[in-house]
Amino acid sequence: MGGVFINYRGDDSRAMGELLDRDLAATFGREQVFLDCYSIRPGADFAQELMTQVRSCRVLLVVIDRDWLTITTPAGGRRIDDPADWIHREIVEAFTAGVRVVPVLVDDTDPPTEKQLPADLQALARCQAVTVRRRHTRLDVSALIHQLCDVEPTLALAAASAPSTQDTTITDAPGPRGVNVTGGVHGTGAGITIGAATGDHVTIGTPPPSAQQPHHPR
């Protein structure tokens, strides 16, 4: 992959992960962004796929909300302390592979401290974090994209080579059913909207991938 891997915990963080996935894929291209519920194909060995993608990415984004540290296992222990926990495993694998790890703090979440983390994750507390506020996602994600381009030249190149937004108008022969085609194209999955004289609208293009419920507990 060589791009961005999005690490998230549970349904609440998944919503933020999906938002990041959408905006990053629109900027860098779908092939440069990995989110398990969109990126793992049916029948794939998800354990192998997750570890392979972590090792090959340039940046691992760790989405951290206020419950990130306190979510527990059925036995009552913290999930983040469990070496078999997928969030734990992905972050450890990223550090082992020398991947840049960026904590993404949701809203007013405080960054975890070393004392709050298991020993093999304590380096996370020393990674410079960014904040994404749900009420200001466009502003904050745009700032994150610029920062990623600054620190990872391969992502800057991917953004530069992604299709830029273009507006095109095509009109067919005169008549009451004249069709105007206006499209904004940016990145993978963008489409074109056709508005006919009757007010009909049709979207042409590749739709974004459908989300699948991960079968590995997050």
pLDDT tens for each residue of 23-69: 999 999 999 999 986 666 778 778 888 999 999 999 999 999 999 99
Mean residue pLDDT across the chain: 81
For residue 21, tell me if it sits in a domain: yes
Domain that holds residue 28: 4-161
Of the candidates 9, 157, 27, the one whose C-alpha atom is nearest the C-alpha of residue 69 is: 9
Phi, psi (rounded to 5 degrees) for 201: -135, 135
Residue 1's pLDDT band, with cuts at 50, 70 and 90, is low
Q: Give the count of beta carbons closer than 10 Å to the beta carbon of residue 158.
A: 23
For residue 111, tell me if it sits in a domain: yes
For residue 130, tell me if it sits in a domain: yes
Centroid of chain to Cα 185 = 20
Is the pTM for the entire model greater than 0.85? no
Residue 207's pLDDT band, with cuts at 50, 70 and 90, is very low
Q: What is the CATH number of the domain that holds 82?
A: 3.40.50.10140
For residue 35, tell me if it sits in a domain: yes
For residue 13, tell me if it sits in a domain: yes
Q: How many domains does the chain have?
A: 1
For residue 212, tell me if it sits in a domain: no
Residue 157 CB partners (closer than 8 Å, separation 6+): none
For residue 204, tell me if it sits in a domain: no
Are residues 212 and 37 in contact, defined by beta-carbon separation less than 8 angstroms?
A: yes
For residue 213, tell me if it sits in a domain: no
